[in-house]
Amino acid sequence: MISNEKVILIYLLFGLILPLLGIINGLLQDIHFSFQFAVGHIKSLLFFFIFLILINIDNDFEKILIKILNLLAITIIVLYLGILFQNPIIIKYVNYLVYDVENALIGPRQFGSVTLLMVFYKTAPLLLFVIGYIFSRRINFSSIVLLFIIITALIFSGTRANIIMSVIILSLFIYMKSNKSIKIILTILFIIILGSIVPFIIENFLNTSEGSNSTKIGHFISYLILFENNPYIMLFGHGIGSGFYSYGNNEIVQQTELVYLDLFRMFGLILFSVFILLLLYPILFIYKEEKYKAISYICYLIVAGTNPLLIGSTGILVIVYVYFLAFKIEMKKKYLLKRDK
């Protein structure tokens, strides 16, 4: 049960204690320390404060969030089609998004021999939660239409992680919703399709010579060298705001696309373990009642681990959402328990 005392403890750990210890460690060690990056990191974690507000006011945060994400999906599709057909109004708006406010990455994206148009908002991976929301309710014609829109928007967002994860989560949820006979058929189809497309995926999406992949490999090799040369980092960390030399960018960086390795380097084993436990803790409460939403969250954590999205307003919003769900489920259980007495 998530008691009021646990709520306060979770907030203190997530929103105050971890960031405070992290930035003190970073300041004391002063290893390529960036005050600007550290402040940005702290500001993002402090955003968790909204959780305390949401659980103390009468609201339907989930429905509001889902409606906003539906609008985001439609926006991505409209922008994609507008660019495709060279609509002047859409082109002008795209220039505003990309160059003036820098809220989106829009343009061609090369994956091996495949070139895709990318319309990527940082909030696009949150569309995975809409898929979980749809499958947690009764499936009808309108929900199938909405599901098609969401999957299309994830594919149009143009990132490797979004495309692959949208296919995985859709396949998994259809399998979970099916009866035993359909599951057998789906398993056979999955094996046949997987066997036929794996070479294509490896060649075009997982090719080590592709720009993004080679950068990630450079980051990973740099981390191996860093931990080998400075093993104490694995225990105590470098602190929030610290940096290291990465062969991925061939420069000093405070953050890479390998988010969990970044957090491990900054926090060290003990604080990193606490952070991961805080990320996973709400799943214990959500999975039994809302398994599709819990799986969507796990999928998001995987996607967020390959892009610097987790520690930012978008990532913290996700964490607020799942803790809100967990608290809501536990409060409902508590109410039913009292009513039955």
- pLDDT tens for 92-149 read 999 998 888 888 889 888 877 778 899 998 899 999 999 999 999 988 999 999 999 9
- Residue 193 pLDDT > 90, yes or no? no
Residue 8 tokens, joined: 């306060």
Cα-flanking dihedrals φ and ψ of residue 100, to 5°? -85, -55
- Residue 1 pLDDT > 60, yes or no? no
Name, in order, each residue with C-beta under 8 angstroms of 216's C-beta and a sequence gap of 6 or more.
248, 256, 257, 258, 306
Half-sphere exposure of 39 (CA within 13 A, CB side): 3
To 10 degrees, what angle do helices 291-304 and 313-340 make?
160
Q: What is the pLDDT of residue 82?
A: 94
Name, in order, each residue with C-beta under 8 angstroms of 86's C-beta and a sequence gap of 6 or more.
none
Q: Per residue in 149-165, pLDDT tens?
A: 999 999 999 888 899 99
- Residue 187 pLDDT > 80, yes or no? yes
Q: What is the pTM of this model?
A: 0.90
Average pLDDT, the chain: 86
> Average pLDDT in the 51-70 region?
84
Residue percentage of the chain with pLDDT more than 90: 39
Q: What is the pLDDT of residue 338?
A: 63
Confidence of residue 336 (pLDDT cuts 50, 70, 90): low
Contact 118, 157 (CB under 8 A): yes
d(CA 41, CA 35): 10
Q: Per residue in 275-297, pLDDT tens?
A: 999 899 899 889 988 999 999 99
d(CA 341, CA 334): 11
**DSSP helix/strand/coil, 246:** strand
Cross-strand partners of 108 = 117
The 10 Å CB-count burial string (b at 16+, else e) for 265-304 is: bbbbeebbebbeebbebbbebbbebbbbbbbbbebbbbbb
- Residue 314 pLDDT > 60, yes or no? yes
Cross-strand partners of 104 = 121
Q: What is the pLDDT of residue 35?
A: 84
**Cβ neighbours, 10 Å, residue 49:** 14
Q: What is the pLDDT of residue 37?
A: 85
Q: What is the pLDDT of residue 2?
A: 55
User: Among 87-91, 203-207, 233-237, whose mean pLDDT is lowest?
Assistant: 203-207
Q: What is the pLDDT of residue 292?
A: 95
> Average pLDDT in the 191-208 region?
77
Contact 66, 292 (CB under 8 A): no
Q: Per residue in 5-26, pLDDT tens?
A: 666 777 777 777 888 888 888 8
Could you tell me the CA-to-CA distances from 312 to 57, 287, 289 in Å, in that order?
Answer: 24, 25, 28
- Residue 309 pLDDT > 90, yes or no? no
Q: What is the pLDDT of residue 223?
A: 93
Q: What is the pLDDT of residue 80?
A: 95
Q: Which residue has the higher pLDDT, 195 or 153?
A: 153
Cross-strand partners of 119 = 106
Residue 203 tokens, joined: 């060649």
* Residue 288 DSSP code: T
What's the start-to-end Cα distance of the chain, in Å? 18
**DSSP helix/strand/coil, 102:** coil
Q: What is the pLDDT of residue 341?
A: 59
- Residue 216 pLDDT > 60, yes or no? yes
- Residue 305 pLDDT > 80, yes or no? yes
d(CA 259, CA 143): 33
> Average pLDDT in the 207-233 region?
86
- Residue 4 pLDDT > 70, yes or no? no
To 10 degrees, what angle do helices 88-95 and 61-84 make?
120
Residue percentage of the chain with pLDDT more than 70: 94
**DSSP helix/strand/coil, 250:** coil
d(CA 248, CA 80): 30
DSSP-derived pairing of the beta strands 114-121 and 244-246: unpaired
d(CA 58, CA 96): 37
Residue 146 tokens, joined: 């909405």
User: Among 138-152, 236-250, 322-336, whose mean pLDDT is lowest?
Assistant: 322-336
Q: What is the pLDDT of residue 335?
A: 57
